[in-house]
Amino acid sequence: MYRSVLNGQSGRGETTMANVAKVAFITGGNRGIGLQTAHDLGKQGLTIVLGARDPNKAEAAVAELHGAGIRAEAIAYDAEKPETDASVFAHLEKRYGKLDVLVNNAGVLLEPLIGNDSTTVSGDVLEKTFATNVFAVIRLTQKLLPLIEKAAEGRIVNLSSVLGSLGAHTAPGSQIAGAKPLAYNASKAALNAFTVHLAAALAGTRIKVNSAHPGWVKTELGGAYAPMEIADSGRTSARLALLGSDGPSGGFFHENDALPW
């Protein structure tokens, strides 16, 4: 694990439960939608922990959050390295003793966004996409669940996509008909299934689990022609992360709208 950063310090000191409010861990949080989500949650008073692969980019993101008056730090997390699940758990357990919000934001798109590669997509692309977008999410969530169970109101947000909606793809006049990268879309559909199943498993607890479609955003993944600016991209995840006790669980949302599975 590389050096963590907390309020500009080296992270060597201990943070006690007395000065910790809600804590959010955001994977892939050093840029794009993840970093914007960190801003949106940090402005609501949450302590932000970014999970990132690149320490230099992570520390730059933390500096940006500090500049906005947000309490934040960064720790090493790589969806392709299962051993980082354990190091994340150890760090969060030692420093905070709980986890209020898990935002499973990290994901990959390894195909052209526009087009249909169902007859040509390689097994390697399928395996790598599912490894990051599905298997790593399930593995990390299961690892961190004991810490989420210690929170007063645990929230799990899985970053999905409307492209994972079978209903949206098959609707007459579908607006997403031309975007059929099979590996990516199927991985997001599988992630939605995890949301439904995990929410059912946790029914009756204080934990809520939902899938979020952030919108088509101008990121490296979304491309320059996407209509949504990064500044607006964290709204759905932040809303689901801050749901009250009467909020939904096991749903699929974009901002205030429920999406079809």
Q: Which amino acid is at 134?
A: V
2 given a catalytic annotation? no
Q: Which of 2, 77, 96, 184 does the annotation list as catalytic? A: 184
Which one-letter DSSP state was computed for residue 217?
B
Q: How far apart are CA 213 and CA 168, in angstroms?
A: 12
In the block, residue with structure tokens 């022609």: 225
Q: Which amino acid is at 127?
A: E
The 3 state secondary structure assigned to 129-192 is HHHHHHHHHHHHHHHHHHHHCCCCCCEEEEECCHHHCHHHHHCCCCCCCCEECHHHHHHHHHHH
Name residue 9's beta-bridge partners.
Answer: 6
CA distances to 11, 84, 100, 243 from 143, in Å = 23, 11, 14, 23
Residue 27 C-beta-side C-alpha neighbours within 13 Å:
29
* Dihedral angle, C-alpha 216, 220, 225, 229, nearest 10 °: 60
In the block, residue with structure tokens 């992570």: 58
Phi-psi region of 69 (alpha: psi -120 to 50; beta: other; left: phi over 0): left
Q: Which residues are catalytic?
A: 184
